[in-house]
């Protein structure tokens, strides 16, 4: 059974998370992750104790849906993910909510990013690889970090000033982050799978379209020498009397160039679109903020049409899948019904056979008993001529022999016979 985000929001603010989680048969930490995925705020630590004394903060409003947000969660099986319906071109445009920020403040998406990236270790190309992945989508060296974050701060604020909300997208749903190729002048697609990437896209919501934003530093491949555990450009190596040690060697290596690039792409999985701004010399990107904002505003209407069509197709596919799933379930129920009927028929026929075999065995054993009874009768007749002691001994042995062979009581044998329905019931109990 699916649970809507509205229902979950009301439940987690009505009683402690432990109780809500117990009703769904999950842990409180698991349900907390579900709330995060559905963008459902939940009470902080100490809320319920503060509520008892009337000092708790008021319950917040349920945040607006973002493109790609999930609308519900299912306890069993995969969550059913539904993106927010996209407004169709021609619908009355919603009034944008413009935001400004006090001087000296950083955009919320960048809060804490500077410290986290600064503390990260670089890879052998120089790119920072923080351990945390719920971060703004930045892939640069430490030398370019300040410039990259300053540019994004200016870009995000410019977008917000025009009513285009910027935030981190959901880890689930319909939004995606494209793989990134940071090479200068790349001729073919190539992905650095070992490099750091965020676990969710950084998204600018322009009307009903979600644009993914990625800031990166370009690389170039040049001749270098591997020296003392690191690669150094040949152009940066000073002349060295006597040459370099034999443990070093010359090769080609990829280095960060100090030039930044911005990639803006459609974050909607079914609607491919991408545009990049790359610096030919450091510092150029800072002048492109307004160009980026205008480009997003210009491209949004056309992409909105494509997103609406993609969602319509996705809805058709979902309905086809559900219909197919219903057919599979009906076929499975019919298969099980036929299988159960066949099993019942097999048991019925087996019970008839077992009952018949038992009855025939009882009759056969009675015939055998009648044959050996004449033997015992002759023994008893002859024993009558013996003295009392010898006769008593013979009579006792005949009694034991009859008991050993089951006697000649047909009623007793018949009483142990089971009709087919009793045989069938006995077989089920035995299993």
- SS3 of 232-255: EEHHHCCCCCCCCCCCCEEEEEEE
Domain ranges of the chain: 1-84, 96-282, 345-430
Report residue 302 as tokens: 């056309």
Angle subtended by helix axes 17-24 and 5-12, to nearest 10: 130
Question: What is the structure's pLDDT at 180?
Answer: 76
Question: What is the structure's pLDDT at 430?
Answer: 62
Question: What is the structure's pLDDT at 194?
Answer: 54
pLDDT, tens digit (0-9, with 9 covering 90-100), for 57-96:
888 888 877 655 678 887 665 445 544 444 444 444 455 6
Q: In sequence order, what are the beta bridge partners of 264?
A: 213, 275
Cα-flanking dihedrals φ and ψ of residue 264, to 5°?
-115, 125
Question: What is the structure's pLDDT at 95?
Answer: 53
Query: β-strands 2-4, 72-74: how paired?
Result: antiparallel
pLDDT < 50 regions, the chain: 78-79, 82-93, 187-189, 191, 193
Question: What is the structure's pLDDT at 320?
Answer: 92
The runs of H, that is alpha helices, within 47-144 are: 47-52, 113-118
Report residue 97 as tokens: 């909510």
- The pTM is what? 0.60
Contact between residue 66 and residue 169 where contact means Cβ atoms under 8 Å apart? yes
Question: What is the structure's pLDDT at 173?
Answer: 62
């Amino acid at each position: 059974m699916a649970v809507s985000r509205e229902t979950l929001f009301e439940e987690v603010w009505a009683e402690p998370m432990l109780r809500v989680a117990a009703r769904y048969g999950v842990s409180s930490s698991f349900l907390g992750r579900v709330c995060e995925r559905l963008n459902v705020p939940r009470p902080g630590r100490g809320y319920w104790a503060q509520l008892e004394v009337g000092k708790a903060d008021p319950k917040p409003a349920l945040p607006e849906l973002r493109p790609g947000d999930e609308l519900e969660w299912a306890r069993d099986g995969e969550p059913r993910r539904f993106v927010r319906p996209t407004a169709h071109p021609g619908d009355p445009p919603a009034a944008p909510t413009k935001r400004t920020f006090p001087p000296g403040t950083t955009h919320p998406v960048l809060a804490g990013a500077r410290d986290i990236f600064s503390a990260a270790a670089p890879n052998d190309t120089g790119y920072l690889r923080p351990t945390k992945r719920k971060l703004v989508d930045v892939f640069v060296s430490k030398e370019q970090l300040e410039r990259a974050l300053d540019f994004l701060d200016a870009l995000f604020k410019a977008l917000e000033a025009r009513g285009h909300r910027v935030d981190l997208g959901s880890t689930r749903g319909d939004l995606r982050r494209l793989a990134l190729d940071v090479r200068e002048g790349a001729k073919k697609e190539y992905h650095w799978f070992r490099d750091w990437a965020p676990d969710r896209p950084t998204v600018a919501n322009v009307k009903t379209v979600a644009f993914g934003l990625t800031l990166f530093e370009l690389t170039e491949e040049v001749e270098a020498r591997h020296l003392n555990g690191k690669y150094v450009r040949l152009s940066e190596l000073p002349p060295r009397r006597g040459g370099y040690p034999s443990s070093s060697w010359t090769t080609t290596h990829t280095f960060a160039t100090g030039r930044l690039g911005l990639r803006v792409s459609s974050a909607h999985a079914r609607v491919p679109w991408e545009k990049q701004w790359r610096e030919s010399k450091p510092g150029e990107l800072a002048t492109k903020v307004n160009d980026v904002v205008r480009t997003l505003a210009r491209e949004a209407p056309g992409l909105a049409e494509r997103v609406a069509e993609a969602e319509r197709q996705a809805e058709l596919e979902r309905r086809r899948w559900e219909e197919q799933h219903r057919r599979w379930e009906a076929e499975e129920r019919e298969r099980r019904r036929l299988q159960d009927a066949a099993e019942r028929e097999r048991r019925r026929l087996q019970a008839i056979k077992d009952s018949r075999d038992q009855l025939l065995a009882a009759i056969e054993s009675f015939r055998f008993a009648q044959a050996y009874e004449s033997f015992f009768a002759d023994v008893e007749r002859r024993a009558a001529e013996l003295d009392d002691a010898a006769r008593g001994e013979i009579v006792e042995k005949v009694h034991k022999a009859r008991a050993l062979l089951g006697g000649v009581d047909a009623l007793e044998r018949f009483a142990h016979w089971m009709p087919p329905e009793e045989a069938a019931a006995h077989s089920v109990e035995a299993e």
